[in-house]
Amino acid sequence: MANFGFNTPFKEQLDFFRQKINLPTQRWDDIQKSAHDKAFIVAGAANADMLQDFNIAIEKAIAEGKGIQEFRKDFKKIVKKYGWTGWAGEGSAGGEAWRTRVIYQTNMATSYAAGRWAQLTDPEYLKLNPNWRYVHMDGLAHPRPLHESWNGVTLPHDHIFWKTHFAPNGWGCHCRIVPAGRRESIKQPPHGWNKLDPNTGAPIGIDKGFDYAPGANVKRPLQAFIDDKLIKLDAPIGAAMWQVLKPILQIEQLASYQDMALAVLDAGYQAQNIGALAFVLPEPTVANMATLGQSLETAAVYMVDNALIHAMRDIKLARGATLPNEVWINLPNYLAKADIYFDTQDPALVFALDVDGVSGKVVVRVNYSQKIRFDGKRANLKANFVSTGGIVDADNVVKDSRYVKLEK
């Protein structure tokens, strides 16, 4: 296998970068760790067209082996083209040099590492080289002592060490991972290598957000990454992110929700406190809520199975007030088509539905704290949750002054 460097592009590195999707962000840590396997970001860049231009500039740097000076020229052109202001580093030559170096070096290093991960984990290659070795770059003016201490560590490829210590392990890190044959001696990492730094949440010696193996999660469903991020992102940026991804994820998101809804029916309406993403509020709706003094914690709307069971309970069915099961099973589609209102007397979102010519509504509690099982994990979320729903007289919502219609 050849020895590759930043200015020597190779197929696996390019393949990794090209499968990324542009995601708008406000801060550098909006997207962290393995989410970078799916997402291309430039911290603070929320304009989709500008983000795409940055993507093109980095891809050119990788594909053509362009150095940082060429990227800096592209950066200046893009910033000027879109009139981007307020970015970290703006206002001084030193700040601009720092910012462009961070963007360039981080993308080059992680895409290189991800490409190497793809090569090193090839099944046929693993038969010959089942072990990996950590290599610290010699000759650095300011080497990191802990990175130096990992130099020469040689372990099986599936050792837990590589899940967090597969280089790069920080901003500007030049360490790399190389193959080692089965006959080469194993060298264990120094004692305490997995001790966590309370300031970063990562093992000591690794910068915040770098404790993952670039490329290892490329095959993880994109929906799983988005679910993780929507919980944590501020409502405006979460809404903007979903708008970008909606054309790609709509089918996957509906299928994920339907799995939960159908499981409720199959289990005979037995609640397990399982939650699923039902909808993401549009950017105008989030902004409109803010003008009404209701700043949302997140743009995501979740359905929990116990609320679904409550909505379909037999007593409602008996008096004909329940929405058909078909609505609940396909709720994301119905919410997408509904008009959205804000209940000013009992703060909640009310989705006014048209169900085959009959008026219905779904009520969503905003900024509500609830314990649920989400993506296989227990969590206490503060988000927006579907509360109830049913058949109503359309005038009860449309003509009642307590309900304010929101933009979509």
Residue-wise pLDDT tens digits, 91-135: 999 999 999 999 999 999 999 999 999 999 999 999 999 999 999
Tell me the one-letter amino acid at 203. P
Quick one: CA dihedral 46, 47, 48, 53, positive or negative? Answer: negative
The SS3 assignment for 169 reads coil
- Position 316 pLDDT exceeds 60: no
pLDDT at 3: 40
According to DSSP H, which parts of 273-358 are helical?
283-291, 305-311, 314-318, 325-329, 331-337
Of 406, 408, 403, 284, the closest CA to residue 344 belongs to 403
Contacts of 371 (CB under 8 A, 6+ apart): 273, 378, 379, 380, 381
Strands (E), 181-282: 275-280
pLDDT at 33: 79
State how far the Cα of 401 lies from the Cα of 390, in Å rounded to an integer.
20
What torsion do the CA atoms of 225, 230, 234, 239 make, to the nearest 10 degrees? 110
The model's pTM: 0.70
The CB density around residue 130, as the number of other CB atoms within 10 Å, is 15
**Stretch (H or E) spanning 312:** none
The CB density around residue 39, as the number of other CB atoms within 10 Å, is 22
Segment among 45-54, 120-129, 312-321, 347-356 with least mean pLDDT = 312-321
Tell me the one-letter amino acid at 88. A
Confidence of residue 231 (pLDDT cuts 50, 70, 90): low
Confidence of residue 313 (pLDDT cuts 50, 70, 90): low
The SS3 assignment for 290 reads helix
Contacts of 41 (CB under 8 A, 6+ apart): 22, 23, 24, 25, 28, 30, 31, 51
Confidence of residue 334 (pLDDT cuts 50, 70, 90): very high
27 vs 12 pLDDT, higher one: 12
Of 344, 351, 236, 378, the closest CA to residue 297 belongs to 236
255 vs 170 pLDDT, higher one: 170
- Position 15 pLDDT exceeds 60: yes
What does residue 375 show for φ and ψ, rounded to 5 degrees? 55, 40
pLDDT at 54: 97
Confidence of residue 256 (pLDDT cuts 50, 70, 90): confident
**Stretch (H or E) spanning 51:** helix 48-63
pLDDT at 1: 39
Average pLDDT, the chain: 87
